[in-house]
Amino acid sequence: MHLTAYVACAFPFNEEHLKQLEEEVEEKAKGWPEKVKHELHTGHELIRTKRKAYLKIGKGNAFEVIFISSDRDQSTFDEFYSEMPWLALPFGDGRKQLLSRKFKIQGIPAAVAIGPSGRTITKEARMHVTAYGADAFPFTEEHLKQLEEEIEEKAKGWPEKVKHELHTEHELIRTKRSVYGCDGCGETGYRWSFYCKHCDFDLHPKCSLKEDEDAGTEKGKEGRICDGDVCRRA
């Protein structure tokens, strides 16, 4: 994966603007192919998918995402941005350096959440979205603390060990980790994992346990999880 961009989240934007923006995006999306093959991911076709956290937060909240690219040239920027449903600074815009300095951005992608008064809420918005999805909004310390408490509470109900078909050699132990890559879905995980330390094998709790956290998620016959927009290997 090449990391060429960082993203800033900002609000407020008014309802009308958001509605207009959504319409524009929907209109634009009609012109996109349903599937593309891409050299960055040759294994599978990429499916045109709405980025759920963004749209979920956008509904009823004055919230907007602004993409600030670190791409090297206009065509790379165009290619990446064409897949994004949110706003962007134009390629080569001088405000990028200013923002990079202001937020002391060290690695990309990064996401900064900015509150209604212009105050920085967190520079770790990316991590929080990965951990909590749209529930991370509005990214305040108080809200995140509450989310963490809820997860801790939930974790008490999980089994201490599980056997899983993706890792039949050993049992997976409920383990508190920092950051890991899930060997099931390939996405990043934070904190709790079902983990095999012999093999350094991690599974998200949601990937280890049969319970489906997203409404409408169904585990298909051939070990695939389909959330309605996209199917992936379970």
The residues of the shown chain that bind Zn ion, judged by CB under 5 A, are 169-170, 182, 184-185, 196, 198-199, 204, 207
In the bound state with Zn ion, the residue whose beta carbon lies nearer, of 112 and 129, is 129
Task: Write down the least CB distance from residue 128 to Zn ion, Å.
Answer: 17
Task: Write down the least CB distance from residue 189 to Zn ion, Å.
Answer: 6
In the bound state with Zn ion, the residue whose beta carbon lies nearer, of 119 and 198, is 198
**What token pair was written down for 12?**
């407020």
Task: Write down the least CB distance from residue 200 to Zn ion, Å.
Answer: 8
Task: Write down the least CB distance from residue 204 to Zn ion, Å.
Answer: 3
Q: Which helix (H) or strand (E) holds 75?
A: helix 74-81
In the bound state with Zn ion, the residue whose beta carbon lies nearer, of 164 and 204, is 204
Task: Write down the least CB distance from residue 126 to Zn ion, Å.
Answer: 17
**What token pair was written down for 46?**
């990429």
Ordered strands of the 201-203 beta sheet: 161-164, 167-181, 188-196, 201-203
In the bound state with Zn ion, the residue whose beta carbon lies nearer, of 101 and 198, is 198
Task: Write down the least CB distance from residue 218 to Zn ion, Å.
Answer: 16
In one-letter notation, the amino acid at residue 81 is Y
Coil, helix or strand for 112? strand
Helices (H), 94-220: 95-102, 125-132, 141-155, 205-208
By the 8 A CB rule, do 172 and 91 touch? no
- Give the C-alpha separation, 116 to 140, whole Å: 12
In the bound state with Zn ion, the residue whose beta carbon lies nearer, of 31 and 43, is 43
In the bound state with Zn ion, the residue whose beta carbon lies nearer, of 48 and 197, is 197
**CA torsion angle for 39, 90, 130, 202 (degrees, to 10)?**
30
Neighbours of 77 (CB within 10 A): 20
- Give the C-alpha separation, 228 to 116, whole Å: 34
- Give the C-alpha separation, 48 to 29, whole Å: 9
